Structure 1
Amino acid sequence: MGGKLSRKTEIELTNMCLICDGNKVLVQEKKGTKGVVFPGGHVEDDESLLESVIREMREETGLIIENPIVCGFKDWIQEDGTRYLVLLYKADEFSGKLKSSEEGRVFWIDRSDLDSINLIWNMKELLEIFDSDRYSEFFFKIKNGKYKGELLG
């Protein structure tokens, strides 16, 4: 009998949350980039996925979100073989006072103005996941030596 192939994969777990207030959404200018994303961060070893998104939103935005809903995933395989998985959440219930962090400045923007700002890291495609039931995953594959992303249902 041959050796058993391992089915375990090293995964870097992260989250991202679209926080909505009526027609406005919360965005973040990440330090070191020239663009805007939705806030998020890493899952710590000793916390649940839900606890991680609540903690990250508090740390990065000053807001305490309630009842975040999982909308889908963004994922890809990194060059070292590690899978990078972003759990996508949406929340419209929150308390606290908005404040920026060392991760970057956070601010509200009207949804109608999202096309006029520099959304990076495929945030426009992620809005398709946040806003509809049509897609649940944004997956990157390497094609012709470059990452190419695809929305999956």
Structure 2
Amino acid sequence: MSRSELAIFTNMCWIENPSGYVLVQDRQKKEWPGVTFPGGHVEKEESFHQSVIREVQEETGLTIEHPVLCGVKQFQTSMKERYVVLCYKAKKFSGELRGSEEGDVFWVDPAKLSQYPLARDFDKMLPLFLDESTSEFFYEQHGDQVIDRIY
């Protein structure tokens, strides 16, 4: 019996400026709209590290340095693929801030994130970025019931 499975790898990055504000994106994609952190898909034969740098640059105009992995979100899709979101944090960046077709980007006080229309389950992911003792957000769906687990 094979232990391999189909998987989709994505990333997301908390980018913090010297004032302690974080960069958010107001996503316009219909499959996951709302305020979240910038990020996207890992391309074939691309490292996870390079993918988060590329995605942030494409979506924000900023080039991040030394992104640090701080957690993982994962779940099974309806097509039985494992969907993995690698969560990173970065405090060092350069470039000129700009939005993209993915959505506008802007700086917010992290304490005020809940005042924005957040993307679905994004609020449940925040401990991955805020609490060093938390490393994984996992959920499973059983019919209409969703069971969230934070590790």
Give the structure 1 partner of residue 64 of structure 2: 65
What does 1:98-113 correspond to in 2, within 5 Å? 98-113=97-112
Aligned residues of 2:29 and 2:102 also touching (Cα < 8 A): no
Q: Distance in 1 between matches of 2:68 and 2:29?
A: 29
Q: Distance in 1 between matches of 2:2 and 2:45?
A: 25
Q: How many residues align?
A: 148
SS in 1 for 2:16: strand
Larger radius of gyration: 1
Q: Of 7, 20, 30, which residue of structure 2 is paired with 1:11?
A: 7
> 2:39 aligned with 1:40, yes or no?
yes
Deviation at 1:145, TM superposition (A): 2.8
Deviation at 1:144, TM superposition (A): 4.3
5+ residue gaps in structure 2? none
SS in 2 for 1:138: strand
Query: Sequence identity of aligned pairs in percent?
Result: 44
Q: What is the TM-score of this pair, normalised by structure 2?
A: 0.92
Q: Distance in 2 between matches of 1:147 and 1:9?
A: 22
**1:45 alignment partner AA:** K
SS in 1 for 2:129: helix
**2:38 alignment partner AA:** P
5+ residue gaps in structure 1? none
Q: What is the TM-score of this pair, normalised by structure 1?
A: 0.91
Deviation at 1:126, TM superposition (A): 1.7
Aligned residues of 1:37 and 1:121 also touching (Cα < 8 A): no
Which of the two has greater strand per residue? 1
Q: Distance in 2 between matches of 1:133 and 1:113?
A: 20
